[in-house]
Amino acid sequence: MTSVRPATPPRAPAGHTAIANVDIHGVSVHGKDLSQELIGKIGFTNYFLFLLMGRQPDAKLVAITDACLVAIAEHGLVPSVQAARMTLAAAPDALQGAVAAGVLGCGSVILGASETAGQMLAEVLAGREAGTLAESAHSVVRTLHQARKPLPGFGHPTHKLGDPRAHRLLAVARELGVAGDHVAALEAVAAVVPEHYSKPLPLNVSGAIPAVLLDAGYPTAALKGVPMLARVASLIAHLHEERRQPIGFILADAAQHAITYTAAPAQAS
């Protein structure tokens, strides 16, 4: 009888990463020795971009990314900060959990709006093939308005007269010489907003961030990473203060008293 050899299972595709390699001799990051070539020789913003892109960023990209990180890191007792502080109040031994609670709120309304605003700017620029930049901006804003979708990067519950952070970032981009097509697209959108919306919708920082970053060469797919990275720094500061000057339970108690309970009263049995 002829024996049948079992079929050889297909080899799994080899996985790979180009970011880092760790061995007995140390750590290599994108081909550079961490201890000898990076530590003490490179700033954190520069290192973040190097990690992200796999190459040394130019000085202008580092400078505008640094400006964006500073602009978006702190904005008072916003929902992400409140969530983090209340989490630490409930679990004071879990700093990492409190930071995670704050980061989990990075969505399309808070922090993550930079990503959606960047997508909108890309759409405006793509529309130039069928007309002028102004016409493309009209088309994109009109479509969003008719679909009753938010206009990313515009409007703010506090900065109703305009977001000073946004205007400063645009000024920094011009000072650095990196303001280009995406800033032009953002300004084209801003110019047509009053024609489609009856209430004022001023430019906010989440609209300026993608415009200046993308013009400086920052990768589109990682736009949400900048506000996330910045907010982690702020959360750590808030949580450090929470341990010394706790307000987490005060925030929770304030919410309890601010909300009206509307359920029908329980029926007597």
**CA separation (Å) from 24 to 20, 21, 27, 188?**
14, 10, 9, 55
Looking at residue 196, its pLDDT comes to 93
Helix (H) or strand (E) holding 33: strand 32-33
Lowest mean pLDDT among 44-58, 70-84, 100-114: 100-114
Helix 205-215 to helix 164-176 angle (10° resolution) is: 10
Give me the mean pLDDT over the 208-230 stretch. Answer: 97
Q: Which domains does the chain have, with CATH numbers?
A: 25-57 (no CATH), 58-249 (1.10.230.10)
Burial label for 102, CB within 10 Å (0-12, 13-18, 19+), is buried
Determine the Cα–Cα distance for residues 266 and 254; give it in Å rounded to an integer.
25
Looking at residue 6, its pLDDT comes to 63
Helix (H) or strand (E) holding 128: none
Give me the mean pLDDT over the 129-144 stretch. Answer: 93
Please give the residue that has the higher pLDDT: either 3 or 124: 124
Determine the Cα–Cα distance for residues 262 and 258; give it in Å rounded to an integer.
13
How does pLDDT run across 145-198, given as a tens digit for each residue?
999 999 999 998 888 888 999 999 999 999 999 999 999 999 999 999 999 998
Give me the mean pLDDT over the 65-93 stretch. Answer: 96
The whole-chain average pLDDT of the chain stands at 93
pLDDT tier for residue 269 given thresholds of 50, 70 and 90: low
The answer to whether the CB of 170 falls within 8 A of the CB of 215 is: no
Q: What is the pTM of this model?
A: 0.90
Phi-psi region for residue 155, left (φ > 0), alpha (ψ -120 to 50) or beta? left
Find where tokens 């904005």 sit: 75
- What is the number of other CB atoms lying within 10 angstroms of the CB of residue 172? 20
Tokens of 46: 């520069």
